[in-house]
Amino acid sequence: MTRLRVLTPDDLPACVRLASDRGWPEEPEKWAFLLRVGTGFGLFDGDELVGTAIVTRFGDEHAAVSMVLVASSHGGRGLGRRVVEHALEFAGTPVVSLHATSYGKPLYEKLGFRSVGVVTAHVGAFGGTAAGTSRPAEEADRAELVAVDAEVFGADRSAMWDELFRFASQVRVADDGFVAAWRNGPLTMVGPVVAPSAVRAAELVADVAAGATARVDVRDPALGAWLEAHGVLPRFTADLMVRGAFSGDRARLYAPVMQALG
Ligand SMILES: CC(C)(COP(=O)(O)OP(=O)(O)OC[C@H]1O[C@@H](n2cnc3c(N)ncnc32)[C@H](O)[C@@H]1OP(=O)(O)O)[C@@H](O)C(=O)NCCC(=O)NCCS
């Protein structure tokens, strides 16, 4: 008999172990960030954590679901469905988005999600140089940045941004967009990238990726080709899935903060 409860920071080591069990990288900082900006649910078999999902709500309209995992020892018994159904009920928003692996996709389709695009994760030592078309965000830039993010993403993510301004290693702004980066072990994770074109998105990426081993998750083929030409190579894909309908000017969103935030 498994029981479900809210995850706390004390559960972080068990979350990381569960991810490793499924061949996912150990990402303790990312888990900790996601548990700060959202609510995690764990399924426990006795004291053992055997299933997880995290919900991040962006106001009353939109939520993202992430970190859906079931221990390999407990797969195929309905636990994945149970934890995701609980997460959706908790979210209670008309729009829910997530990035799905091929393992999760059939479950999400059964729960009413549809794929709206494929994201390719690019990883590698960035071989380019900074374009120098952005500058570090200052306190005075924050309100406008968060407002533009809401316009592009289609939901007010100000509470998430309060944490992201602390968590990010870099947040840079330009006249026509912005870019952030955060550390995930050895990787500089680039996102979000908000720009009016793929060319401008590439310039913003260059400003945070210069000298780093970077990961950027992109849907735009031109940006993907540019990354590949600069040593940041396609590694795996995920489906961007949504239940309900996206709003926002998503054409300007060239990379998510992280797949876990929809
Ligand atoms: C994805 C995952 C969480 C599913 O957990 P699980 O406990 O094995 O899933 P369930 O037993 O609840 O099955 C979920 C549903 O998907 C269905 N399903 C699973 N694989 C399927 C496939 N290839 N084709 C069609 N349906 C499939 C099951 O039949 C079940 O449907 P039902 O509830 O109507 O009977 C688990 O496999 C896992 O942790 N995988 C590795 C991590 C991962 O990729 N997570 C997804 C991140 S997006």
DSSP 85-152: HHHHHHH--SEEEEEE-TTTHHHHHHTT-EEEEEEEEEEEE--S------EE--GGGHHHHHHHHHHH
Q: Which domains does the chain have, with CATH numbers?
A: 2-93 (3.40.630.30), 121-235 (3.40.630)
Residue 31 has a pLDDT of 98
Q: What is the mean pLDDT of residues 164-180?
A: 98
Provide, rounded to the nearest whole percent, the portion of the chain with pLDDT above 90: 100
Is 110 touching ligand 1 by the criterion CB < 6 Å?
yes
Is the distance from the beta carbon of residue 23 to the nearest atom of ligand 1 less than 6 Å?
A: no
pLDDT in tens, 54-86: 999 999 999 999 999 999 999 999 999 999 999
> In this model, does residue 148 exceed pLDDT 90?
yes
For residues 123-152, average pLDDT:
98
Per-residue pLDDT band for 1 (boundaries 50, 70, 90) equals: confident
pLDDT at 220: 98
**pLDDT value at position 250?**
95
Ligand 1: residue whose CA is nearest its atom 46: 104
pLDDT above 90: residue 244: yes
Question: What's the confidence (pLDDT) of residue 33?
Answer: 98
- Residue 82 CA: nearest ligand 1 atom is 12
- Evaluate: CB of 101 within 6 angstroms of ligand 1: yes
pLDDT in tens, 13-58: 999 999 999 999 999 999 999 999 999 999 999 999 999 999 999 9
Could you tell me the pTM of the whole model? Answer: 0.96
Contacts of residue 45, defined as CB under 8 A and 6 or more positions apart, other chains included, come to 1, 2, 74
Distance 230 CA to ligand 1 centre (A): 36
24 alpha carbon to ligand 1 midpoint, in Å?
16
For residue 30, how far is its CA from the centre of ligand 1 (angstroms)? Answer: 23
